[in-house]
Structure 1
Amino acid sequence: MAPFHWLASLPLTLCLLRADGPGTANPGRIEHLADFPSRFVKAHHVDVWLPTGYPQPGTCYAVVYMQDGQNLFDPKNAYGGVAWEVDSTVAALGTKLRPCIVVGVWNTARRFPEYTPAQPYATLPPATRARLEQAQPVGPLSDEYLKFLVQELKPYVDQHFQTSPKRADTFVAGSSMGGLVSLYAALEYPKVFGGAACFSTHWPLSLQENTPAFTTAMVQYLGRKLPRRHRPRLYFDYGSATLDAWYAPHQTRIDSVLRAHHYSAANWLTRSFRGAAHNEAAWKKRVPPALEFLLGY
């Protein structure tokens, strides 16, 4: 890809953050790409998890691109000191999944605008946008963020690691706002991403009020964008405690759109987890069903 060539000569700080150790279920190793540069957004740290035995000769690994990458592997970096431990989880799932690597893209101070789906946001009533912009004055940057993922990061990963670049082997995942932008990625780039896992998707968009406005915008957007061909596999979930207590009616509306567009159990799964809260500890427990849905045999 032409947009990638300018990155080839840029020095990236690459270091081994974690390797196999006692009690870690042989989770493999993590390579850290510090301040990965972009023409579209500010630089992001990126962690690339590689399973034990990587690279196996003749194996082209599927890739899962995950938002909020600092929360995925190391409790020292994770919000609240609790990591998802995706490396140990994937290792423990073993042959239930096809061989894969995980690319964790750290968030920045611009997390909210980078994770806000721009096209649905643009259709919100002006008064709703004005209220949202009181809390977050920077408008959506998700289109730029997705260009970074698709035009810069993915080509780099496919060139420097032993991956399968096919859409059927390329996935995106995230929680809360990260769930929103992961869904947006799968729908804006259906020829790139074969599926998305959206944990506790933050449909209201606001932390101050639980309103249906953005869900309505997403329902309209889904109606326009759900593809007939290159249909991505979609996983959604939500809990019932803390912020997740808002989500059930919103998810029901989204599910209705998927059903109307003839999504079935073959390419769509929504799960609810009674008592689960909106935090890393809850999402950590839900990584197995999500990855088995996207990457299972």
Structure 2
Amino acid sequence: MVFTKDIWITPFQLNRTLHIYMPDTIYKEERLPVLYMFDGHNLFFDDVATYGKCWGIKDYLDQNDGRIIVVGIECNHNGDQRLNEFTPYDFYEEEWGYVSQRGRLLIDWMIHELKPYIDTNYPTNPSRDYTYVGGSSMGGTMSLYMAMHHSDMYSKFICVSPHIYPMYKKFREDFDCKILPDTQIYISWGGYEYPTHHIFAMVTDQNLQIIRALLKKEGVDVIPHVFKNDNHSESAWQKELPVWMKECHIVK
């Protein structure tokens, strides 16, 4: 089942919608893992997805007996506010201009308000080992930052097509961070996400440098995937869904 719930985001002083998936049947005393995801409106149903195409997560989990709760946080649809709320660093990009980060405020809210709320009201296993986070594009960027700084709260990070290159140097400068052992990080990118082969090559090199830095952390497992024929879209991410669901052992 999927249902929506309005919640107050204290640092932004705004109401926001959560899109929550749960198995149709919960067994007595069962406690489920939780996957927190960005852009929750794009996860489950085409009719509410921004571009009319969702990831198909509900159908996939229903078909594979996914014993997990997925909490999707809807983005801010006002102007460019999604960019501000979903970036952990200030950055400049020609298409968008200067973008000021508000993502760290959102992350703090997720840790200190959202997670306690979900753990109090739903049948979760609240431990780090059963708490995950993921997203695509800027949501993937946020997930990567959270892997670097909040592995004490989450153990698996799904970074699908993260938008890294305008803030690559800031990521690199931040890599003296402590990441706990038994942390798993999935990172992917597609060959047709970028307008030129040159940019694709540059992004690939940057992603590989980040992956190498992560692999130097003791006990950190990194799962990279390049999908050479895929673009930056929900359709591509739906095709990718079974890969990270299985490789990260979110479904059997």
TM-score by length of 2: 0.88
1:275 paired with 2:229, answer: yes
- Select the residue among 191, 200, 220 that pairs with 2:173: 220
Q: Hey, what's the Cα distance between the residues in 2 that align with 1:64 and 1:81? A: 23
Aligned to 1:257: 213
Post-superposition Cα deviations, 1:241-293, rounded to whole Å, max 9, x if no partner, equal 133863322211111212333566xx210011121010000001111221223
- Select the residue among 134, 144, 165 that pairs with 1:183: 144
CA shift for structure 1 position 137: 5.0
Superposition pairs of residues 277-296 of structure 1, within 5 angstroms: 277-294=231-248, 295-296=250-251
Q: 1:147 aligns to what SS in structure 2? A: helix
Q: Hey, what's the Cα distance between the residues in 2 that align with 1:259 and 1:107? A: 31
Q: 1:261 aligns to what SS in structure 2? A: coil
Aligned to 1:7: none
Q: 1:237 aligns to what SS in structure 2? A: strand
- Select the residue among 150, 153, 164 that pairs with 1:192: 153
**Mind listing any 5+ residue stretches in structure 2 that lack a counterpart?**
none
Aligned to 2:187: 236
CA shift for structure 1 position 238: 1.0
1:63 paired with 2:34, answer: yes
Post-superposition Cα deviations, 1:57-95, rounded to whole Å, max 9, x if no partner, equal 12100000010111001111112110101111122233x
Higher strand share: 2
- Select the residue among 38, 45, 57 that pairs with 1:86: 57
Aligned to 1:112: 83
Does the CA contact (< 8 Å) of 1:191 and 1:230 recur in 2?
Answer: no
Letter in 2 for 1:61: L
| Structure with greater Cα Rg | 1
Post-superposition Cα deviations, 1:84-138, rounded to whole Å, max 9, x if no partner, equal 01111122233xx6x21100100003211111113xx4xxxxxxx5x44993555
Aligned to 1:19: none
Post-superposition Cα deviations, 1:164-196, rounded to whole Å, max 9, x if no partner, equal 000100000000111010111232222111110
Does the CA contact (< 8 Å) of 1:190 and 1:231 recur in 2?
Answer: no
Aligned to 2:21: 49
Does the CA contact (< 8 Å) of 1:93 and 1:288 recur in 2?
Answer: no
Alpha-carbon distance change, 263 to 243 in structure 1, aligned in 2, over 3 angstroms: farther
Alpha-carbon distance change, 137 to 238 in structure 1, aligned in 2, over 3 angstroms: closer
Q: 1:113 aligns to what SS in structure 2? A: helix
Aligned length: 242
**Mind listing any 5+ residue stretches in structure 1 that lack a counterpart?**
1-28, 122-128, 206-213
Q: Hey, what's the Cα distance between the residues in 2 that align with 1:141 and 1:48? A: 24
Does the CA contact (< 8 Å) of 2:143 and 2:159 recur in 1?
Answer: yes
Does the CA contact (< 8 Å) of 1:169 and 1:194 recur in 2?
Answer: yes
Does the CA contact (< 8 Å) of 2:64 and 2:251 recur in 1?
Answer: no
Does the CA contact (< 8 Å) of 1:167 and 1:194 recur in 2?
Answer: yes
1:143 paired with 2:97, answer: no
Quote the RMSD (CA, aligned, Å): 2.1
Q: Hey, what's the Cα distance between the residues in 2 that align with 1:268 and 1:275? A: 22
- Select the residue among 10, 22, 32 that pairs with 2:4: 32
Q: Hey, what's the Cα distance between the residues in 1 that align with 2:98 and 2:212? A: 32
Does the CA contact (< 8 Å) of 2:215 and 2:222 recur in 1?
Answer: no
